[in-house]
Structure 1
Amino acid sequence: MEYLVVKWLHILSATFLFGTGIGSAWYLLFTVISRNVAAIAVVSRIVVMADWLFTATTMVVQPLTGFYLVHIAGYPLHARWIVWSVALFAIAGLCWLPVVWLQMRLRDLSAAAVAANTPLPPRFWRYFRIWVALGIPAFFAFLAVFWLMVAKPI
């Protein structure tokens, strides 16, 4: 029973992690593309809250439950699918850390533009391009981790 509960928590937290990540990215991306500064300010504020509430907590829960499942199931830590999963998760995490900082800057810059009734500054657009560039490898790394967790191929 313990394995089943931990596995459920692992899958649930993976769902929150990936779902919040892809949902937040989708809404922020298309809100920014709209160039509606007031909407960008609102959505970026919500995305930052969602990242702290859901993504940050699940970035901790995932490795804890994952390593515990490996232990309970008796898989060797050096199994290639585990090594690759950990490496890809780390890559995604290393992309996510600056993304959180960038999202906070996007939030602050868009809120300041709304308050001053001005367009978004060039720095906003520079941060946004970096945000997109970091999101792409994180997205594909998480897709690969999902596949490795399900298939355990190597």
Structure 2
Amino acid sequence: MDYLVIKWLHILSATLMFGTGLGTAFYMFVTNRSGNLQAIAVVTHWVAIADWIFTATTVIFQPVSGLYMVHLAGFPIGFNWLGLTFALYAIAGACWLPVVWLQLRMRDMAKEAVRQGATQLPARYWRYERWWCVLGIPAFTGLIWVYWLMVTKPTGW
């Protein structure tokens, strides 16, 4: 496949991954603050689906397309901007995996609370939500740095 085509797909995939992550995080965060159990149940349901459809597929495509471009361009893999990019991506992924697990449990708790006619979510939901927020910070920060490294490709490291 042509380098420019794979580069376009790589950028498109990165945009989809980051945009979906930021968008779903925003909606889940603000919906949680609303306290509306019905809304929380609906949003957590769709956040979980969006993460599997969009984020999971792009999370896989990113390193595959990135390594293919590295191969085509002849960049050396080592402790340079490229090595740091993969390390930051791995950190973001290590944060994202438990976030997905937390989201699925939060979704289930919200659905169950609505089904039972509860007026509030269990305390465990809010513990999970705190961890969900905490893990999101290094994941998003790492991806912002990955974007910077992909664009600037700094030399002299």
Q: TM-score range by the shorter chain?
A: over 0.9
Per-residue deviation, 1:148: 0.2
2:12 aligned partner: 12
- Look up the match of 2:151: 150
Number of residues of Structure 1 aligned to a counterpart in Structure 2: 154
CA distance in 1, matches of 2:35, 2:139: 25
Query: 1:14 is paired with a residue of what secondary structure?
Result: helix
Match of 1:129 in 2: 130
What amino acid is the match of 2:35? R
SS for the counterpart of 2:100 is: helix
Give the whole-Å Cα distance in 2 for the aligned partners of 1:138 and 1:79: 21
Matches within 5 A, 1:106-121: 106-118=106-118, 119-121=120-122
**Distance of 2:101 and 2:140 partners within structure 1:** 18
- Matches of 1:47 and 1:88 in 2, distance apart? 24
- Superposed, 1:28-43 pairs within 5 Å as 28-43=28-43
User: Percent identity of the aligned residues?
Assistant: 57
1:141: which partner in 2? 142
Q: Distance in 2 between matches of 1:152 and 1:78?
A: 13
- Displaced runs of 4+ in structure 1, greater than 3 A? none
Partner residue in 1 for 2:85: 85
Gaps of 5+ in 2: none
Output the CA distance in 1 between the equivalents of 2:35 and 2:89.
32
3-state DSSP class of the match of 2:68? helix
Q: Distance in 1 between matches of 2:59 and 2:20?
A: 12
Query: Deviation at 1:104?
Result: 0.3
Secondary structure of residue in 1 paired with 2:81: helix
What TM-score, normalized to structure 2? 0.96
| Deviation for aligned residue 1:47 | 0.3
